[in-house]
Amino acid sequence: MVLSAPWLFDGLGGVRREAAVVVDLATGRILAVGKAADHPDARRVEGALVPGFINAHGHLELSHMRGQIPSGLGMVPFLDAVTFGRTAEPEALAAAIDEAHGELQREGVVGMGDIANTTDALACKRRSPLRWHSFIEVFGAVPGTWRKGLERGLPVLEAHRTAGLSAVLNPHASYSVAAPMLAELQRLAGEAPNAAGQAAPLSIHLQESPEEEAWFREGTGPFAAFFGKLGLEVPPPGEGRSPAEAVLEGLQGSSTNAESARAAPPRLILVHNTMAQPEDIARAASRPNTWWCFCPRANRYITGRLPRLEHWLDRPEPLDGRILIGTDSLASNARLSVHAELQELAAAYPDLPAAQLLRWACGNGAEAFGWSAELGAIEAGRSPGLLVLKPSPEAEGMGQGLENEAVPAAARWFGQGSSMEVLLPAGHR
């Protein structure tokens, strides 16, 4: 089949006008990308063709918590509500997970990085046509006892790997994993190469809230009481360091011999970053294979803040090739829609180029997870899924109209009333 459209965003930051895409419907594979004028019989699509989305951070197993926790509680009450309110009947849990999976498909997601503390979502992921990488989340904040936390994750890891799913033991957050445990988890990830020989990516929740900053920098705030409620010995705070500084130093501890010091460390996805300052970002940028994931709707839901994108973009070497998009879970988001996350960013940053946002949501995500051979870009040889974006109706009347804009802005393609349709879903591979 040949499709043509007035716009094409390739998912790698490129924009084409009047483009045509030749696609093998049986496999979803893109055979060629060319000019609409060369394919007068193409099926015409009005709007912009874009590749399927990569959702870099979610918790499918929390899907039954939609609407259960009020927004605006702040970080520690939110953690408290998830920790003590997440139990559900197995049938209700499975049904909620399947429903959330259906939403991901309707929202054009083709690959996902999924946090798991349990095997609750394993059956769904095994049936799913999406690509998955599971972060088996472990906790161990107290230096003397973290190995027990690591061991608790092993059966969940084993169950995922036995089912043929890519998975790695993964640190929960800056405040819940001790430095030596970070180093050990990084070492273990380095020992688990995927089919392409790459080490499995790790992720960590980082710099999500002012409370986390207060705990690390001053040892104050509600985190101390929360540790007590969990029945944990209160771990040492960050001794004046920022959470990013503490985490990156902890990870460095794993370079214990000359060989591992020379090798590039496993890919690492820092999730949230709403409180990250330029010095935190510079420090993380100096670690090879480091990425930042933004979940703007969840940030609004829990803390009311968004990351300051200018810290990543207004630098001598902009980091837009290292940014990813996630939805987080239905405990802190009403939807599992990467498109809605881009709309949230566009409302705060209307002048960002739309092609840049789509690079974060497509090509960068595929690269971070090692899926670039198949997903993330409209490019001959890949099978990325295909979506159509329809611009904001208000934008149609703006300025010179769609046809003459050289750098289409986020406001036009993700502004109010903009929409998205799935043309070719996940699973053609």
> Given the rule CB under 5 A, which residues bind Zn ion?
328
Give residues with Cβ within 8 angstroms of 311, minimum separation 6.
276, 277, 278, 281
Nearer to Zn ion, 280 or 328 (CB): 328
Nearer to Zn ion, 172 or 217 (CB): 172
Written as one string, the DSSP assignment of 238-303 is -TT--HHHHHHHHHHTT--SHHHHHSPPPPEEEEE-TT--HHHHHHHHTSTTEEEEE-HHHHHHHT
Residue 133: strand pairing partners: 113, 166
Distance in Å, CB of 305 to Zn ion, minimum: 15
C-beta neighbour count of 47 within 10 angstroms? 19
Distance in Å, CB of 160 to Zn ion, minimum: 18
| Alpha-carbon distance values, 372 to 19, 112, 361, 395 (Å) | 22, 13, 13, 32
Cβ–Cβ < 8 Å for 330, 297: no
Nearer to Zn ion, 12 or 182 (CB): 182
Distance in Å, CB of 210 to Zn ion, minimum: 17
Q: How many residues does the chain have?
A: 429
Distance in Å, CB of 205 to Zn ion, minimum: 6
CA dist., res. 152 & res. 149, Å (int): 5
Nearer to Zn ion, 170 or 254 (CB): 170
| Run of H or E residues at 101 | helix 90-106
User: Cα–chain-centroid distance for residue 35?
Assistant: 32
| Alpha-carbon distance values, 381 to 15, 69, 376, 422 (Å) | 19, 44, 12, 20
For residue 73, the SS3 value is: coil
Distance in Å, CB of 71 to Zn ion, minimum: 15
Distance in Å, CB of 261 to Zn ion, minimum: 31
Q: Are strands 2-9 and 48-51 parallel, antiparallel or unpaired?
A: parallel
Nearer to Zn ion, 328 or 367 (CB): 328
Distance in Å, CB of 176 to Zn ion, minimum: 12
Q: Which amino acid is present at 251?
A: L
Nearer to Zn ion, 9 or 223 (CB): 223
For residue 65, the SS3 value is: helix
Nearer to Zn ion, 328 or 344 (CB): 328
Nearer to Zn ion, 61 or 328 (CB): 328
Nearer to Zn ion, 328 or 379 (CB): 328
Nearer to Zn ion, 184 or 328 (CB): 328
Distance in Å, CB of 84 to Zn ion, minimum: 17
Nearest alpha-carbon partner for 139 in 109, 177, 105, 102: 177
Written as one string, the DSSP assignment of 172-236 is -BTTTB-HHHHHHHHHHHHT-B-TTSPBPPEEEEES--HHHHHHHHHS-STHHHHHHHTTPPPPP
Distance in Å, CB of 255 to Zn ion, minimum: 27
Nearer to Zn ion, 39 or 267 (CB): 267
Cβ–Cβ < 8 Å for 245, 283: yes
Distance in Å, CB of 114 to Zn ion, minimum: 10
Residue nearest to Zn ion (CB): 328
Distance in Å, CB of 192 to Zn ion, minimum: 21
What is the edge-to-edge ordering of all strands in the sheet holding 166-171?
53-58, 109-116, 131-138, 166-171
CA dist., res. 65 & res. 93, Å (int): 9
Place of tokens 């380095």: 190
